[in-house]
């Protein structure tokens, strides 16, 4: 009897009456093989005590990497907004696209932005178009509405999402580290001498980030309650945001605001508050905010590159459809000084 440590793919092939190539494909769950064949090969390998050889696996992985590049040469970055350019024209989206495209080229792929509603396509028809074009790797752009459905034939594709659409949380998702980013904004504002720090956030955006900004802000307020006091978070829903923000500013008089709301700076200007002399402003996404804003730089280029890294791994392992357990990667932001906070008093 052959010692288990010496069992090779050839031995498994002889035992099953299949070729070495077929056995190798079965052990990697290749979609071209019937499920019964895959199960039979795996049972035989387990009975024989087969374990992959590390050196051989490395060589096979290299060959498979080259094969992935040839077979799946196009990665689709898919947006599903009401118009083709509504998402892609944003500064943050352009950075994400650039980071993803550069990393895709490094692996030998071509990255293409596809709009899922082209020619009024249904998701089912769009799925067939992707399959007909030989596209197996998908990066989903952030949804306009994280709750929205988008039902394509997920079992046919390797999928990574940017942010975390609520209905599809079991795809590997690449997201900003919202909680850590807000805590960083607090840390930098305090280093600049601010003490009465408030948070203004739109209701839809609060839901999109799973209320992590509000949670981190509440933690920091509790942590610094002795010398900062407590300012209630302003969550803006519905119409007349300028009036709501002005009323909140006059009632609570913060010396700095953390936000990602287009109406905060105009509301402050309407009250003759000078930024940063009278009021500091820290954006939670400076790339898509007012020019010169201080605050958090979300590294969307790194998010795009990381999405390609993960997708390349999924293609290499021939993993399609959702994961059994939710998986994700956080990308930390960094502080961008800008012109909307006073100079540091450190």
pLDDT of residue 152: 92
Burial status of residue 44 (CB atoms within 10 A of its CB: 0-12, 13-18, 19 or more): buried
* Residue ranges per structural domain of the chain: 4-52, 71-176+302-331, 178-298
Percent of the chain with pLDDT over 70: 91
Cα–Cα distance for residue pair 66/316, rounded to 1 Å: 9
Per-residue pLDDT at 58 exceeds 80: no
Q: Are 72 and 110 in contact (CB under 8 A)?
A: no
Taken in order 159, 85, 74, 312, the sign of the CA dihedral is: negative
pLDDT class of 69 with cuts at 50, 70, 90: very low
Q: In terms of CATH architecture, what is 71-176+302-331?
A: 3-Layer(aba) Sandwich (3.40)
Question: Six-digit token pair at 52?
Answer: 């992959």
Question: What CATH number was assigned to the domain covering residues 178-298?
Answer: 3.40.50.2300
Which range among 54-63, 66-75, 297-306 shows the weakest confidence by mean pLDDT? 54-63
Which of 194, 264, 248 has the alpha carbon at shortest distance from 224?
194
pLDDT class of 219 with cuts at 50, 70, 90: very high
| Tally of CB atoms within 10 A around 319 | 15
In the sheet that 137-140 helps form, which strands lie side by side, from edge to edge?
110-115, 74-79, 137-140, 158-162, 172-176, 328-331
pLDDT of residue 320: 93
Please compute the mean of the pLDDT values over residues 238-257 and round it to a whole number. 92
Per-residue pLDDT at 294 exceeds 80: yes
pLDDT class of 246 with cuts at 50, 70, 90: very high
Per-residue pLDDT at 61 exceeds 70: no
pLDDT of residue 56: 53
Please compute the mean of the pLDDT values over residues 304-308 and round it to a whole number. 97
Q: Are 323 and 170 in contact (CB under 8 A)?
A: yes
pLDDT class of 192 with cuts at 50, 70, 90: very high
pLDDT tens digit sequence for 107-137:
999 999 999 999 999 999 999 999 999 999 9
282 contacts: CB under 8 Å, gap ≥ 6: 185, 188, 189, 256, 257, 258, 259, 294, 295, 296, 340, 341
DSSP 108: T
pLDDT tens digit sequence for 85-108:
999 999 999 999 999 999 999 999
pLDDT class of 5 with cuts at 50, 70, 90: low
Per-residue pLDDT at 71 exceeds 60: no
pLDDT of residue 72: 58
Per-residue pLDDT at 200 exceeds 60: yes
Please compute the mean of the pLDDT values over residues 65-73 and round it to a whole number. 53
Which CA distances in Å does 204 have to 144, 159, 248? Answer: 10, 25, 19
Q: What average pLDDT does the structure give for the chain? A: 89
Which CA distances in Å does 242 have to 208, 236, 245, 289? Answer: 22, 10, 5, 17
pLDDT of residue 68: 46
pLDDT tens digit sequence for 141-167:
999 999 999 999 999 999 999 999 999
Question: Six-digit token pair at 208?
Answer: 């999109």
Return the bridge partners of 328, or none. 173
More confident residue, 22 or 190: 190
Nearest-10 crossing angle of helices 20-27, 35-48:
100
More confident residue, 82 or 27: 82
Question: Six-digit token pair at 125?
Answer: 């028809």
Per-residue pLDDT at 63 exceeds 60: no
Q: State the pTM of this model.
A: 0.79
The fold adopted by the segment(s) 4-52 is 434 Repressor (Amino-terminal Domain) (1.10.260)
Per-residue pLDDT at 346 exceeds 60: no
Please compute the mean of the pLDDT values over residues 34-46 and round it to a whole number. 86
Whether 4-52 and 71-176+302-331 share one fold: the answer is no
Percent of the chain with pLDDT over 90: 71
- Tell me how far the alpha carbon of residue 38 is from its chain's centroid: 33
């Amino acid at each position: 009897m052959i010692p288990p440590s010496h069992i090779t793919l050839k031995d498994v092939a002889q035992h099953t009456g299949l070729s070495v190539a077929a056995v190798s494909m079965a052990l990697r769950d290749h979609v071209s093989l019937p499920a019964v064949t895959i199960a039979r090969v795996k049972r035989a390998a387990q009975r024989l005590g087969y374990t992959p050889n590390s050196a051989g696996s490395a060589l096979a992985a290299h060959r498979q990497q080259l094969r992935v590049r040839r077979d799946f040469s196009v990665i689709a970055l898919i947006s599903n907004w009401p118009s083709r350019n509504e998402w892609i024209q944003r500064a943050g989206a352009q950075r994400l696209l650039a980071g993803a495209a550069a990393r895709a080229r490094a692996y030998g792929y071509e990255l293409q932005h596809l709009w899922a509603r082209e020619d009024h396509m249904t998701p089912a028809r769009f799925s067939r178009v992707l399959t007909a074009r030989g596209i197996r790797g998908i990066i989903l752009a952030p949804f306009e509405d994280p709750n929205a459905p988008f039902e394509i034939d997920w079992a046919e594709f390797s999928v990574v999402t940017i942010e975390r659409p609520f209905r599809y949380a079991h795809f590997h998702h690449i997201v900003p580290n919202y909680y850590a980013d807000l805590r960083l904004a607090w840390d930098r504002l305090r280093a600049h001498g601010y003490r009465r720090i408030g948070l203004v956030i739109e209701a839809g955006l609060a839901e999109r980030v799973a209320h992590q900004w509000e949670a981190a802000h509440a933690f920091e307020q509790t942590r610094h309650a002795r010398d900062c006091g407590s300012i209630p978070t302003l969550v803006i829903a519905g119409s007349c945001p300028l009036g709501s923000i002005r009323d909140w500013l006059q009632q609570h008089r913060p010396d700095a605001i953390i936000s990602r709301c287009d109406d905060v700076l105009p509301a402050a200007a309407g009250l003759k508050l000078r930024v940063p002399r009278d009021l500091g402003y820290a954006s939670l996404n400076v790339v898509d905010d007012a020019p010169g804003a201080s605050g958090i730089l979300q590294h969307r280029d790194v998010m795009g590159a990381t999405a390609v890294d993960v997708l390349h791994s999924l293609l290499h392992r021939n993993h399609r459809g959702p994961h059994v357990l939710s998986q994700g990667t956080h990308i930390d932001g960094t502080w961008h000084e800008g012109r909307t906070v006073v100079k540091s008093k450190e």
